[in-house]
Amino acid sequence: MCELARSRLIAWIDGELEGAEALAVSAHVESCPTCQGEARAIRSLSRDIGEYARAVTARPRPASYKWLAAAAVVVLSVGLMWIRPEREPAVSETRPAHPGVLVAVPLDEVLPVGAAPPGAMLVGYMDFDATGQPSSFRVQ
Amino acid sequence: MASNIQPVPFAQTTEVESLFREWRSPLERYLVCSGMARDEALDIVQDTFLRLHQHLLAGGDRANLRAWAFRVAHNAALNRRKSGAWRLTSPLAEASRTAVAADPERLLFHKERFRRLHAAMKELTSAERACVLLRSEGLRYREIAEALEIPMSTIADHLDRALRKLGEKCNV
Ligand SMILES: [Zn+2]
């Protein structure tokens, strides 16, 4: 076994140690095969966790930007506002089964270049039907 | 339903928009990997950016904004869980579907790895899981401590325990 605490090895890998402490751990790892193996395992596991997390959300988001383009045009014609709907009063039994998703979309992602003022955003509630397709968009 | 409409200065919106592009995926991953359904996670992410917008508009503290955003999202998720409105989902199901779409040949490999990781993640304490997920999004220990409102001196120990448990379950 080795005298270096594993939490310090992790902090060293993460670049969280400074100055003399970082140098001391570097010197130790260089001469300690156990810690070299540990460091490899920690880095590999960290990569796996990152891949897992990215895979979880790699599917397209339910709010389709293409679909939103139509709504964006409507809002632009009404005027450029930041629109913040009041939320449902409580998230208990009064909460509807499908309360919708609050969506904020940079307009330049859904409109042709130059069609929207720079930085403009569309904000509203997107509802979905049972198949997960967007069914309505409420800019209240 | 009452509305609350206010014009927004473009400069302000542009800053929020650029932060939105940078942080929405990390925030979404953090919430979904914590067990929240995708649409609810997106809802919280949007809400976080509306609050960030209001925060900046009101001249709020600009230091450590990333930790601020994760703290807002983390607390919103906690509140939903307490209120019972949090629908538990399986990130594994999402991950498997993604693996199929992305690379059929590696499906089995991914599936097995993700299955082990997912099972091991569920056995972590919520603080351990939160630390390991926030670290995975590149947050510094100082930011993780701020986001979770726990002492910075405990982060390395949470990570040590979390990675140890995950490693035991996942190393073939
Ligand atoms: Zn050693």
Domain coordinates in residue numbering, chain B: 8-88
Considering only alpha carbons, which residue of chain A is nearest residue B113?
A: A48
**Helices and strands in chain A, H and E counts:** 4, 4
Say yes or no for a CB contact (<8 Å) between B32 and A57: yes
Please report which confidence band the pLDDT of residue B39 belongs to, taking 50, 70 and 90 as the band edges. confident
Chain A residues close to B94, C-beta within 8 Å: 55-57, 59
8-state DSSP, B124: S
Question: Which of A40, A20, A18 is CA-nearest to residue A29?
Answer: A40
Q: Touching check for B31 and chain A: CB below 8 Å?
A: no
- Angle of CA points B158, B160, B164, to nearest 5°: 120
Minimal CA separation from A1 to chain B, in Å: 16
pLDDT tens digits, one per residue of B121-145: 888 999 999 999 999 999 999 999 9
pLDDT tens digits, one per residue of B95-108: 545 544 455 555 55
Considering only alpha carbons, which residue of chain A is nearest residue B97?
A: A59
Break chain A into its structural domains and give their ranges: 6-56, 63-139
Minimal CA separation from A95 to chain B, in Å: 9
Q: What are phi and psi of B132, to 5 degrees?
A: -70, -35
Q: Is the pLDDT of residue A62 over 90?
A: no
pLDDT tens digits, one per residue of B140-159: 999 999 999 999 999 999 99
- Give strand pairing partners of A125: A102, A138
Question: Which of B52, B51, B32 is CA-nearest to residue B118?
Answer: B32
Q: Output the average pLDDT for chain A.
A: 68
* ipTM rounded to 2 decimals: 0.82
Q: Answer positive or negative: Cα dihedral of B91, B96, B101, B105.
A: positive
Q: Is the pLDDT of residue A26 over 70?
A: yes
Chain A residues close to B28, C-beta within 8 Å: 57
Please name the residues in contact with A64: beta carbons below 8 A apart, sequence gap of 6 or more: A134
| Strand spans (E) along chain A | 82-85, 101-106, 121-128, 134-138
User: What number of CA atoms fall less than 13 Å from residue B118's CA on the CB side?
Assistant: 21
Q: List the structure tokens of A33.
A: 């095969």
CATH number of B8-88: 1.10.1740
Minimal CA separation from A100 to chain B, in Å: 8
Chain B residues close to A45, C-beta within 8 Å: 163, 166-167, 170-171
Q: Touching check for B172 and chain A: CB below 8 Å?
A: no
> What's the rounded mean pLDDT across residues A25-42?
96
pLDDT tens digits, one per residue of B55-84: 888 888 888 999 999 999 999 999 988 776
Which of A4, A49, A110 to mutate against chain B (most B CBs within 10 Å)?
Answer: A49
Please report which confidence band the pLDDT of residue A12 belongs to, taking 50, 70 and 90 as the band edges. very high
- Give strand pairing partners of A101: A126
Q: Is the pLDDT of residue A36 over 80?
A: yes
Please report which confidence band the pLDDT of residue B161 belongs to, taking 50, 70 and 90 as the band edges. very high
Q: What is the pLDDT of residue A107?
A: 59
Least confident of A94-108, B20-34, B114-128, B132-146: A94-108
Chain A residues close to B156, C-beta within 8 Å: 7-8, 10-11, 16
Q: Is the pLDDT of residue A84 over 50?
A: no
Neighbours of A85 (CB within 10 A): 18
Token pair 């001249």: residue: B59
CA terminus-to-terminus distance, chain A: 64
